[in-house]
Structure 1
């Protein structure tokens, strides 16, 4: 267990939960809906919302994977650390890096008001990959 993951457990920013298939399914459904909304927003040239919605599609895919392993996060950063820890062998390092970059782009769009159609498209592409990977992992559990 990495020191970062251990610290989050100690600080209760990641907590153990009982695995609940209904919660996992709900997160995948939310990921699909957010991805659809992100694509629609991008088509309407609403890059800020497309970025935010695309990120939340990634977020819900990642949460489904965390729930699968019996954990729940208390922050976006904790979710990323837990995903990196729990799926080091199941998710490519490059996809984890893209997820982290998506977190940054969402924060910039939401709080810094910095966004573009290109960055929204990047987030949407990563969200598609994350959802696909999550569905594959959950199918093969």
Structure 2
């Protein structure tokens, strides 16, 4: 599955009307989650910091979906959509790292099914995730202003 038509036919994305009010609300949600990530980092709660950074990035991606007139049916579909539609527009690190953080988030929240152990997040990972989320948020804000 590697193109927009596949995502639509499998029901992972649904076509809708472009919705800038929803996009702007997702920007606010992203900003809130970035703030949470920073506060959790300062409190040395690195797992929560990373999860909030990922959530910020996820909502940034949703901004683009809403702007383009789509709704997602899962986190993985959002990553695939960005790769399909924005790989020539956004810095590749945002698209790639969104998917990496998605998998880390899953292991932190649910544990690794093979090892049945929750993944520990290090301070450097949480810090990097915050910086990545900040950059992605700024890039998305620029895109929706065009």
- Where on the TM-score scale, by shorter chain, does this alignment land: which range? over 0.9
The alignment status of 1:79 with 2:106, answered yes or no, reads: no
Where in structure 2 are there 5+ consecutive unaligned residues? 112-117
The alignment status of 1:90 with 2:89, answered yes or no, reads: yes
Counterpart residue number, 2:62:
63
Where in structure 1 are there 5+ consecutive unaligned residues? none
**Contact between 1:14 and 1:74, CA under 8 Å: does it hold in 2?**
yes
RMSD: 1.3
Counterpart residue number, 2:98:
99
Correspondence 1:1-141 to 2 at 5 A: 3-112=2-111, 113-114=118-119, 115-140=121-146
**Contact between 2:87 and 2:95, CA under 8 Å: does it hold in 1?**
no
CA distance in 1, matches of 2:43, 2:2: 44
> Deviation of residue 121 (structure 1)?
1.4
Aligned length: 139
**Contact between 2:2 and 2:84, CA under 8 Å: does it hold in 1?**
no
Change (3 A) 1:3 1:52: closer
> Deviation of residue 117 (structure 1)?
1.5
